[in-house]
Every structure is written in structure tokens, then in C-alpha cells.
Structure 1
Amino acid sequence: MTPELIGFAGILVLLFLLTVGVPIGVSLALTGVLGLMVMLSPEAALAKAGVVVFEVAQKYELGVLPLFLLMAHLCFAAGASRDFFDVAARFIGHRRGGLGLAAIAGCAGFGSISGSSLATVATVGSAALPEMRRAGYNPGFAAGALAAGGTLGALIPPSGALIVFGIIAEVSIGKLFTAAIIPGFSQALFYMIAIGVLCWFRPELGPPSARVGWRERMRGLLGIIDIIVLVVFVIGGLMIGWFTPTEAASVGVICAFILLGLRGGFNRANIADSFAKTLTTTGMLYLIIMGAILFATFISVTGLADLMSRAVMAIDGGPVVAIMVMTLLLLVLGSFLDGLALMLLTTPIFLPIAIELGYSPIWFGIFLVRTMEIGFVHPPLGLNVYVIQSIGKDIPLGKIFRGIVPFLIADFLHLAMIIAFPMVTLWLPSVTAG
């Protein structure tokens, strides 16, 4: 069996392990070590595994991951879970489709502290879905808007997916965060346009709710000003070069502790819970990163990435056509793979191809996460859809998936914009120090 066929067999083994429910990190590590045993020797494979574990454990850049997670959990403990949606609803809820627009704004705001798609859809959805249904919104439309809006948490900084990609691909996390700002907020804008168009032609989907006075609006805005200042200070300082990513995360944790105290939540229970959740998630992600590096090493040794690179480069039509083929493959894989598994499986294969085609690794990271986000809402996996369905248990899955369709169209248009105009992603990093 040729090395390339061994590499392909390794991918099939990994897909099988993921399909039967083996955790992502274990699947990646097991496939990588077994593959290296076949390609090299058992001794060399085990030695490489030991080196990877040691290097990951002492990698300075990895400190950014638990710190941003701790910042997010401290903000949750401070009561920042539903605030963004509540404030947006006060300002625009009285308009046609206004609560849908507020849900998207709430997801964007919450995503700026959570860094997770599933956390965003679960938290904002639990606050927004009951409000939208009480206001007479079509259940499928409301659930679809929230499922789509939740994906913003995977892209808007500080994104956990971008942190993991930056570590695996050895790309500046600061530049990835900066590059994600315009695509993240333009994605939210595309969703808002979709809601506006739908409610213009079918007003019954999202009827207006009662208007709230300016006094109540300003009171709500003042309630989240501390969270806004924290996010702008941390991410803005990172963009303009005040902090490195690890320093920005450290400053964010200190500010989150202060915010927790100002909001009256500084107690042993909240702090212990925040640390426990941070350690649990960090341990899982460290295992995933170790496994991903072992799997990437195996793929590199087999030469499969080089073979696929030559095949893609041979496609007649130029780099854009090659990227479109890559996009289709990612969307197909994303229909049955978890988003993080998709990213870790394809990065060692597709990143060298994108660089060979002349694309920036920064652009590729945003493109990959953006494509990965679509997998959170398109069938049959659509994890965000199942999260929303767990909140609105009486809404059939089929109705939610139908409600997703207009937002999927917005997703495809937005992804096409990122592919056709790379400067949407690359302009901001080029003019900042981040």
C-alpha cells in the first residue's frame, strides 16, 4: 500500500471513530499515532506522541485559550447572559421583525464574550425564543433566526475556533481576531437584511411588539456599558498593538473580575464555578490540540496533502474555482461532522493547498471557520438547530430547518463575498498593529 493510500485509510478510520461517538481529541490522537506506527515504527510514533504532549503543555501561546474562557465564564457569572438581547429588543423590538433583529444583535454581542456558537445559541435562545413567541412570531422563523444567529459566536472575537486554528496552523491569533471583525459583523448584517426582506413581504412572520420609552432604553443600555467597555478595551487593545493575545486575555480576566465585583457577584460559588468550567473545557481543548498535531504529522508523512495539492492545482479554472471545490467538500463533510472536528480534519490537508494557490493563511482561517459555521445549521447534523429545538420542544425539527433556509441563503452569499473579495478579511489586519 502506498503512503498516500495509508493517509486516505487514516482519514476513513478517523471518520469512523467520529461517527461512532469517540471524542474528537481521542479520535485524532489514536489515528495519528496508529498511522505513524504504520508509516515509521511503533517506537518513533510513541516518541513523537511524547514530544507533542510536552510541547503543547509548555506552549506559551496556548495560555490565551484558558484565559479567554475564564473571562467569558466570569462575565456569565456577572449576569451578562441575556443583557444584549434585552437592550436590542428595547431599541428595535417595536419594528416589523424587530425582535428577530434584536436576536441577531444579541447573538453578536454575546458572541463577543463567549467565543462559542453553541453557548451563544443556547444562552440567547433561552432568553429570546419565549419573547418572540409571546409576541406572535412564526415559531419556525424565530427558531431559524436564533439558530443562524448563534453561529456568530464561532467567528466574532474572541473566537475559540480561531484560537485553536491559530495554534494548529501557527498563525498569529491577534491577526486572526482582527481579520474576523468585518466578516463577523457583516455576517450579522446579512442575517438582518434577510429578516428585513422576509418581514417586508410576509409581515405575519414577525409582528411588531410594544414600543419602549427612551428612559427604559437608556436604562438598559447603561446596564451593558461595562461589558461593552471590557470587550472594546481587550479586543481594541489587541488590534492596535497595546497587548499580545495572551496579555489581552490576561487583562480581560482582571477586568472581568472587577466587573463581577461591581455587579455584586464576587463570591466563592461564582468564582469556583467559573474556574471549574474553564478547567473542564481547557482540558478537552488541550487534548484536541494534541490529537490534531499528531494527526497533521501523520498526514504530512504520508504525502497525502501534497497529492491533493497537486490535484487541486491541476483543476482548470484558477484559484477561485479550486477554492469553490474545497468549499463544496467542506460543506459535504460539515453535514455529518462536528464543526471543530471538520476544522481539525481538513486544516492539515487544505491549508497547504490554499497557500500554494496564493491565499493568505489568515484569510484561510476566516474562510474555514465561516464555512464551518454553516455546518452548525444545515441538515442533517445542524447542532444549533437541535439546541434551539431543546428550548422550544414543541417546534418540529422540520419546521426549524425550513426556517433556516433564508439564513442559509444569506450564509452562502456572505461566504461568496469572502471568497470573491479577500480584502474584506485582510484589510483590517493590514492597517492595524494586531
Structure 2
Amino acid sequence: MIWATSATALVGVGILLALLLAGVRIGVALGLVGLGGLALILGPEAALIKSGVILVDTLTRYELGTLPLFLFMAHVFFSVDASRDLFDAAAKLIGHRKGGLAYASIAGCAGFGTINGSSLATTATVGLVAYPEMRRRGYADTLSTGTIAAGGTLGQMIPPSGALIVFGIIAETSIGDLFTAAIIPGITQALFYAAVVFVLVRLRPDIAPAGERAPWAERLRALGRVWEIGLLVALIIGGIATGLVSPSEAAAMGAAGALIIAALRRKLTRASLFHAFAETLRTSGLIYMILFGALIFAAFIGVTGLADAAGQAVSDLGMGTVATLVVLALILLLLGSLLDGLALMLLTTPIMLPIAQEAGMSAVWFGIFITRAMEIGFVHPPLGMNLYVMQGVARDVSIGRIFKGVVPFLASDFVHLLLIILFPAMVMWLPDVLGN
């Protein structure tokens, strides 16, 4: 056990970062470093046995079924053009106002995020619908691309969120509590984006001209195409928040409800169903591989004692809760500009979670905090995956213009993250009130 030191763990983290920057898949890199570190400390046979125990223990966890069911719900909704219907309903209601389509894009991203849970998919699907319409109406390319790229990050925060499910499994924290805790931060995040649009439009009215007012008949028809989706989402989130159903039961409700809605819309074909199954299996397999690798890596970090040592070192500095969390946020934002979102979460959780708990924060609060920081990484140069996805949608707009357009929203993200640090009740009030 002479290698069971914090120095060994830091070397492992360095190797992991090098592998990730070299383009090695996240799950493979995490698993290789974790297994190699365990073999060095415990011996090859013990490392394989421990990794096997982690694999079997994870596969037999009941809550693991939550993720593929929610993913299946999302892929079924893809087949019924849910993103188009959600954006169209918002555009019909408020599209006639200055900046109305930008507000509608944020609302569409928030609505689609509740049934999808992926920032990249939300940006791509809403962007394909919203950007051409905003361009046709004469919106500035910086505002339209920035709004959609930033709004896409709502997919990770607003439940059900794949990132929160993964965090709940890694941190052995209630997924129901995480979903409930994400509701207020998710709503306030969307309101912050709307406030940015409001300020930009007031300062420069020419970037978002007003459009034609849709008749009430068209508005009602647009709402009629999304009411059943809204009802299903309300039942899922409401059921989890009130504790009437578990996240796994809610996921089953969502998958069944999506099939019923697709059937009622006469879009549930054999081809669409098999496509939904195939995409669900592909995405679930990828996430499970990442999850298994992360758990093995976390076991390696635990054996070295790095997390405990880091927590003790921070405690000895006596910086106080707020200062400690601000330092963690700065580290996450720095790494988030270089690493993929899930890589950031899976790399830092085993090390930072004990530090946050030492500072007096719960695992549920930290889950929202790190997810929020991870979201900022999606729109933070130079990596900013949402920005490149948006460029793939708006091929006529340079990446520099997209970077420029997202800056005001990025500033609001920093303020929002700081408020979560200063006022933890933003995260914990609702779970405490509902007693989950």
C-alpha cells in the first residue's frame, strides 16, 4: 500500500487529463486510469475483483433503469416533432413582441429540456426550428444564435436530467431529491436568459424587430398540439417532487405516455419505434460505459485518500463556506472550458464533493452546483460544445459571431451560479418543504 498516497492520485488525474485531451473516450480513459491505479495499489488480481464488484453492484441497482426510460421517452417525442410544436406554441403567444422569438426559443428549450435532458440535443433540435424563423424575421445573428446556444443548456438542469441521474448514481444520492432541487434553479436560469434578451432588445431594438400578432385561433391550435406533452411532464415532475412516485416509476410513466401520445398523433410507426429503441440503446450504452469508468476511477481516488486530504487541506485554510465554494466554482469553470461536461462532472465529483460537504453543503446541493457549472462549460470558449452545435445549425454565421452573441448570457450564468453559492436555499428550499 506504499502507493496509496495523494501524490499517486494526482498523477492519475494528470494522466486522465492527458488522455481526454488526446481524444480518448471518457469512459475508457476513466476506467483505464482507475483500473491501473487500483492495480498499482492493490495488485492486479484485487483490482480486477474490485472492478467486477463495482460493475455488478451498479448493474443491479434499481435506479439505473431510470436513464434508458427517460431517453426512450425523449426519442419517441423526437418522432412527433415535439421541439417544433413547443417552439411554435411559444412563438404564437409572444412572437409578435420585440424579441418575442428569442423569448420563444428560451421557452422552447426549457420545454424540450423537460422531455429530453440533453443540452446538445436541445440546442440542435430547437435551433433547426427556431433559427430559420428568427433569421426570416430579421433578428441579428448574434442574438438568435446566442439565445439558442445558451437556452440549450436548460436541457441539463430542468428535470428529468440525464446529468443529475448520473450524478445521483455516482454520489449515491436520491435522484428524486436532485430532480426536486433542480426545479427552482432551472426556472430562475430561464428567467435570467429572458432578462438578458429584455435588456439587449431595449438597448438595441433593431436586433429583434416585432412581428405580426397571431390570431387567437392560431394560438389555441398551437397550444392544442402541446397540451398533452405539458400534462405528461407536469405529472412526471410533480409526482417525483411530491414523492408520489419514484424516479424509476416516473420514467416508466413517461415512456408509456410518450408511446400513447405518439400513437394518438398517428406517428407511432414500426420504423420510428425501432429507431427510438436503437438510439436509446446506443445512448444508454455510451453513458453506462462512462458511468462504470467513473465509478472505478472514484474507487481509485478513494483508496489513495486524495479526497479526504483535499477536504482537510481546505478546512485547514479556514476560508469559510462561501470562499471555499467560490474557489471550487473557479476551478470548475476553468476545467469546463477545456473538458466535456460529463468528463468534468465525473473527474471532479470524487474530489470536490467531500470538500463541499466539509464546507457544510449537502450532496444534493453539490449536484445542482456542479451541473450548473457543467452547463456553463457548454457555452464557454474555447470548447463550448453548444456553440459548435449551433454553428452546425447556422452555417452562415461564423464561430466568432456565435461567441460574441453568447457573452451576455454567459455573464448571466456567472451571476446565477454565484447566487446559488450565496443563497443555498435556491436549491434546498423546495426539497425541504416537500420533505423528499
TM category (shorter chain) comes to over 0.9
Deviation at residue 204 of structure 1 after TM alignment = 1.2
Listed as ranges, the matches of 1:335-354 within 5 Å are: 335-354=337-356
Q: 2:121 maps to what in 1?
A: 119
- Unmatched segments (≥5 aa) in structure 1: none
Could you tell me which of 286, 303, 306 is aligned with 2:305?
Answer: 303
Deviation at residue 310 of structure 1 after TM alignment = 1.8
Could you tell me which of 139, 144, 162 is aligned with 2:164?
Answer: 162
2:4–2:41 Cα contact (<8 Å) kept: no
Post-superposition CA distance 1:379-405 (Å, at most 9, x none): 000000000001111211111101111
Listed as ranges, the matches of 1:10-49 within 5 Å are: 10-49=12-51
Q: 1:325 maps to what in 2?
A: 327
Deviation at residue 59 of structure 1 after TM alignment = 1.4
Q: Which amino acid aligns with 2:209?
A: P
Q: 1:401 maps to what in 2?
A: 403
Distance 2:332 2:161 in 1: 20
Distance 2:107 2:385 in 1: 21
Normalization by structure 1: what TM-score? 0.98
Could you tell me which of 49, 52, 67 is aligned with 1:50?
Answer: 52
Q: 1:281 maps to what in 2?
A: 283
Q: Which amino acid aligns with 1:389?
A: Q
Could you tell me which of 425, 428, 432 is aligned with 1:426?
Answer: 428
Could you tell me which of 246, 249, 268 is aligned with 2:248?
Answer: 246
Post-superposition CA distance 1:130-171 (Å, at most 9, x none): 111111111112101110000000100000000000000000
Count of matched residue positions in the alignment of Structure 1 and Structure 2? 434
Distance 1:78 1:394 in 2: 28
Distance 2:212 2:435 in 1: 45
Q: 1:265 maps to what in 2?
A: 267
Distance 2:288 2:307 in 1: 24
**Does the alignment pair 1:143 with 2:151?**
no
**Does the alignment pair 1:235 with 2:237?**
yes
The verdict on how the C-alpha distance between 1:310 and 1:433 changes in structure 2, with shifts beyond 3 A counting, is closer
Deviation at residue 2 of structure 1 after TM alignment = 6.8
1:71–1:253 Cα contact (<8 Å) kept: yes
Deviation at residue 81 of structure 1 after TM alignment = 2.3
The two structures, once aligned, show a CA RMSD in angstroms of 1.0
Distance 1:99 1:15 in 2: 40
Identity across matched positions, percent: 56
Following superposition, which runs of at least 4 residues in structure 1 exceed 6 angstroms of deviation? none
Task: Please state whether the residue corresponding to 2:338 is helix, strand or coil.
Answer: coil
Distance 1:12 1:137 in 2: 45
Distance 1:402 1:153 in 2: 22
Q: Which amino acid aligns with 1:100?
A: A
Listed as ranges, the matches of 1:84-95 within 5 Å are: 84-95=86-97
Distance 2:130 2:113 in 1: 15
Deviation at residue 311 of structure 1 after TM alignment = 2.1
1:3–1:39 Cα contact (<8 Å) kept: no
Distance 1:147 1:39 in 2: 44
1:74–1:257 Cα contact (<8 Å) kept: yes
Deviation at residue 317 of structure 1 after TM alignment = 3.0
Task: Please state whether the residue corresponding to 2:96 is helix, strand or coil.
Answer: coil
Could you tell me which of 58, 67, 70 is aligned with 1:68?
Answer: 70
Distance 1:235 1:367 in 2: 20
Could you tell me which of 219, 222, 225 is aligned with 1:223?
Answer: 225
Post-superposition CA distance 1:186-245 (Å, at most 9, x none): 100000000000100111111111111111111100110010011011111111122111
Q: 1:414 maps to what in 2?
A: 416
Distance 1:315 1:32 in 2: 29
- Unmatched segments (≥5 aa) in structure 2: none
Q: 1:371 maps to what in 2?
A: 373
2:65–2:248 Cα contact (<8 Å) kept: yes
Deviation at residue 433 of structure 1 after TM alignment = 4.8
Normalization by structure 2: what TM-score? 0.98
Distance 2:103 2:237 in 1: 24
Q: Which amino acid aligns with 2:305?
A: G
**Does the alignment pair 1:6 with 2:8?**
yes
